[in-house]
Amino acid sequence: MYVCSLSGNEIFCLQLKGFSPAEIVVGNSVRSLGLAGAIGSGFRTLAGGEVENITALISEGRHAAIARLVDEARRHGAHGVTGVTTELSSLAGYTEFLSQGTSVLANGPAPHFFTTSASGTELYCHLDAGYTPISFVMGNVAYALGVGRGITGGLSTLARGEVRQYSEMYNRIRHLALFRLRREAASVGANAVVDVRIDLRPFGTGVVELLMTGTASHHVALHPDSRDPANVATSELSGAEIFSLAQLGYAPVQLVMATSVYSLGVVGGIGASFAALAKGELTEVTELIYGARENCLSLLRAEAQSVGAERVIGNRLQIRELSPGLIEVVAVGTAVRRLPGIAPHSATLPVQAVVRDDDSLTMSGGGSAGFATSLAFGAGVERGIQRRASPAGCFVALMIVGLMALGLVVALIAAAARH
């Protein structure tokens, strides 16, 4: 008797592609940063930017868990694993990395063993669109704002407009994680990564991990040289969207991202505060947010053009407040272009491949395992990041109070001198 995590729709779709579900498989690794690593990462956290030893720790832990998952699946005689996930949680002061998925068996000739983050229905769409799965891949960056960048960025927030220190750091980190994802895909001979997921996860004090995961795949119509990460196409579109685009003759080129961090500034903040006392539009805030969005979309458009794309689809534009008066706008989408020979095998998808499966078990609440909760570029990220970004917000608030107090003192001195 097998116990699997696949739904009826997933089992149906996999059967159409010659696969049957087998046993749930798991792999884990419990790790410690160690005394030397903790001290080193503490100094690096103060400096800001990537905390390399934490990035390495997390990457090694996740890959070790995946390797054990694969070993368990092979012991079951499986030909692949679908629905692969990677999580982390805090246990007794240590970090546990957990991976799980459902092994599958081929009903016909055994294919090359594969692992995929796609569900059973997603895998059907990928296979029908010509994407042969190879391996679950990931790219991550653990980073901190840092005292130095917080001070210089805090000073920059006193003026109205873009805070380039923050914008450049966030843009650099997200593209570094994407590069590592593509590099890992190239190392296994893939020329595409489909089903890309982007998560922001807190890790310890003042550190956040940006994690990108997906399925390294191969498509005969894409770039033949997969050894160069630059030739690996990436997409965060769903399997059904990949299939529909292929029907129209389009193929994904690259996942494109852009970030803009803007400050209302001291003068604008004070003016908006007074304006808020009366009913009506806050023009300063309206114009600031509009400008941040326009700048973000301009960066996204320029990146898509640089990779030879014709358009960006599936774009999602999110905004969140890093601290009072300091906002971040994030744009994410998939750059696509027309490509000959990209048409899928079937004319239509079965209804089971597009039906959304509801989860009958929902658990919420506290506990250290909450660190493993997947966060998207929305409200969840806002809650997770505000705790980490609050020192910069406090610094800006103190600067504003200090300037106001200084102005008051100067005014009193001037008044005393006149008398």
Q: Residue 360 domain-assigned?
A: no
Q: Judge whether residue 384 has pLDDT over 60.
A: no
Q: Residue 302 domain-assigned?
A: yes
pTM higher than 0.85 for the full model?
no
Instruction: Domain of residue 272: give its range.
Output: 8-349+370-418
Q: Residue 361 domain-assigned?
A: no
Q: Judge whether residue 109 has pLDDT over 60.
A: yes
Q: Residue 365 domain-assigned?
A: no
Q: For residue 270, what pLDDT is reported?
A: 43
Q: Residue 357 domain-assigned?
A: no
For 122-136, 189-203, 349-363, which range has the lowest pLDDT when averaged over its residues? Answer: 349-363
Give the pLDDT band of residue 90 (cuts 50, 70, 90): confident
Q: For residue 155, what pLDDT is reported?
A: 43
Q: For residue 377, what pLDDT is reported?
A: 41
Give the pLDDT band of residue 367 (cuts 50, 70, 90): very low
SS3 of the chain: CCCCCCCHHHHHHHHHCCEEEEEEEEEEEEECCCHHHHHHHHHHHHHCEECHHHHHHHHHHHHHHHHHHHHHHHHCCCCEEEEEEEEEEEECCEEEEEEEEEEEEECCCCCCCEECCCCHHHHHHHHHCCCEEEEEEEEEEEEECCHHHHHHHHHHCCCCEECHHHHHHHHHHHHHHHHHHHHHHHHCCCCEEEEEEEEEEECCCCCEEEEEEEEEEECCCCCCCCCCHHHCEECCCCHHHHHHHHHCCEEEEEEEEEEEEEECCHHHHHHHHHHCCCCCCCHHHHHHHHHHHHHHHHHHHHHHHHCCCCEEEEEEEEEEEEECCEEEEEEEEEEEEECCCCCCCCCCCCHHHCCCCCCCCCCCCCCHHHHHCCCCCCHHHHHHHHHHHHHHHHHHHHHHHHHHHHHHHHHHHHHHHHC
Q: Residue 320 domain-assigned?
A: yes
Q: Judge whether residue 368 has pLDDT over 70.
A: no
Give the pLDDT band of residue 36 (cuts 50, 70, 90): very low
Q: Residue 336 domain-assigned?
A: yes
For 174-178, 199-203, 335-339, 397-401, which range has the lowest pLDDT when averaged over its residues? Answer: 397-401
Q: How many domains does the chain have?
A: 1
Q: Judge whether residue 359 has pLDDT over 50.
A: yes
Q: Judge whether residue 369 has pLDDT over 90.
A: no
Rounded average pLDDT over 100-128:
94
Rounded average pLDDT over 152-158:
48
Q: Residue 328 domain-assigned?
A: yes
